[in-house]
């Protein structure tokens, strides 16, 4: 820029000199420096304007850069906070899951302890309030048993148990075998599937893997044979014969508060 100005100046001076020489005779000495002065001022103004514009551009650029930079920094910070929040939330969720799992585990343990305690109480007092079986029903393992001395056909017996939301007696574990032996049952129907043919008697210890009755798969008619228990043995007879009934259903869970209440009452006696 300054080079151009210098070049222009030089040119002016040259042409001025030529003019000076040509118009030397006209002798108007004071008019000659005026154009040169105006041009200088204009050139200077243009230069200043250029510089001003450049500076403004620089300032604007700087401002833009700073704005961009702080914007990016803010964005990064936000991104970090977001990631931290996500981490915190998932950690919290994990801890919540842990806590509810711990609570569940604790209540399972508590229930086990309550059941154990209730069994002890039940051995001493058959009618103890903590018993998870209705009134007359006996409690063994996870099941309740109702013994009824009334002679009915197998199908009628099954219906009677159904009305209790129960089924005819089944013997599916060694523990139940022992329990049933201890009851010394004579002539009680079993919840085995009715068969088309009669069969030899067998001991209770070999009864567990037999074909236990399920209501929806078994077809029953009057010519079939049904299993019953006579002391320690299983026999088959016509399903239309009449025998006594034992119903069986799942025990409820032992209610901890009911047990605590009755324990307090027992303690006061
Ligand atoms: C994340 O959890 C830590 C420790 O529990 C806490 O100091 C921090 O403030 C939490 N971050 C957010 C964004 O809540
Ligand atoms: C959850 O529980 C397990 C075992 O109780 C423990 O090792 C683990 O650190 C726990 N996790 C949290 C996030 O609290
Ligand atoms: C809860 O019990 C289950 C299985 O018994 C076990 O895998 C889990 O770690 C237990 N949770 C806690 C938080 O103790
Ligand atoms: C059997 O179960 C049904 C429905 O679950 C219930 O309404 C009824 O009271 C129950 N009967 C007995 C004797 O428990
Ligand atoms: C019969 O009932 C048992 C449960 O009592 C069920 O698991 C089984 O799928 C049923 N079978 C049919 C054929 O409906």
Residues in contact with ligand 4 (CB, 6 Å cut-off): 164-165
- Looking at residue 202, the DSSP 8-state letter turns out to be E
pLDDT of residue 32: 56
Determine the Cα–Cα distance for residues 269 and 265; give it in Å rounded to an integer: 7
Residue 68: predicted pLDDT: 93
Q: Which atom of ligand 3 is nearest to the CA of 104?
A: 1
Considering every ligand atom shown, identify the ligand nearest to the alpha carbon of residue 249 and give its number: 4
Distance CA 43, CA 24 (A): 28
d(CA 192, CA 243): 14
Q: How far is 188 from 210, CA to CA, in rounded Å? A: 17
138-250 CATH choice from 3.90.10.10, 3.40.50.970, 3.10.100.10, 3.40.50.360: 3.10.100.10
CB 240 within 8 A of CB 156: no
Q: Is 11 exposed, middle or buried (0-12, 13-18, 19+ CB in 10 A)?
A: exposed
For the chain, first and last CA: distance in Å?
Answer: 116
93 Cα–ligand 1 center, Å: 14
- How many A from CA of 144 to the centre of ligand 4? 15
Residue 189 and residue 169: Cα distance in Å, rounded? 7
Cβ count near 175 (within 10 Å)? 11
- Ligand 4 centre and the CA of 258: distance in Å? 22
For the chain, 269 residues long, the average pLDDT of each consecutive 10-residue run is 48 50 50 74 92 93 92 94 95 94 93 90 87 92 94 93 94 91 92 86 80 71 88 90 95 80 55
pLDDT at 219: 66
Residues present in the chain in total: 269
pTM: 0.63
Q: Is 199 in the pocket of ligand 2 (CB under 6 A)?
A: no
Q: Where are the domains of the chain?
A: 1-32, 138-250
Residues 6+ apart with CB under 8 A from 169: 145, 180, 188, 189, 190, 191, 229, 246, 247, 248
């Amino acid at each position: 820029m300054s080079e151009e100005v210098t070049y222009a100046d030089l040119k002016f001076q040259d042409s001025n000199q030529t003019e000076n020489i040509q118009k030397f005779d006209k002798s108007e000495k004071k008019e000659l420096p005026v154009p040169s002065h105006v041009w200088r001022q204009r050139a200077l103004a243009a230069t200043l304007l250029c510089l001003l514009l450049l500076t403004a551009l620089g300032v604007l650029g700087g401002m833009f850069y700073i704005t961009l930079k702080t914007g990016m920094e803010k964005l990064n910070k936000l991104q970090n906070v977001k990631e931290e929040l996500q981490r915190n939330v998932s950690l919290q969720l994990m801890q919540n899951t842990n806590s509810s799992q711990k609570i569940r585990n604790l209540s399972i343990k508590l229930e086990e302890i309550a059941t154990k305690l209730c069994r002890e109480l039940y051995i001493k007092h058959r009618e103890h309030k903590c018993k998870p079986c209705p009134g007359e029903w006996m409690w063994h393992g996870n099941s309740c048993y109702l013994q009824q001395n009334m002679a009915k056909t197998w199908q009628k017996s099954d219906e009677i148990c159904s009305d209790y939301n129960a089924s005819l007696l089944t013997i599916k574990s060694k523990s139940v075998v022992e329990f049933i032996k201890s009851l010394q049952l004579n002539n009680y129907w079993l919840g085995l599937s009715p068969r088309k043919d009669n069969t030899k008697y067998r001991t209770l210890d070999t009864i567990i893997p037999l074909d236990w009755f399920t209501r929806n798969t078994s077809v029953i008619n009057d010519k079939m044979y049904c299993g019953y228990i006579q002391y320690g043995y299983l026999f088959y007879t016509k399903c239309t014969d009449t025998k006594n009934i034992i119903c069986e259903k799942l025990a409820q869970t032992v209610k901890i508060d009911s047990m605590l209440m009755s324990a307090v009452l027992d303690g006061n006696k």
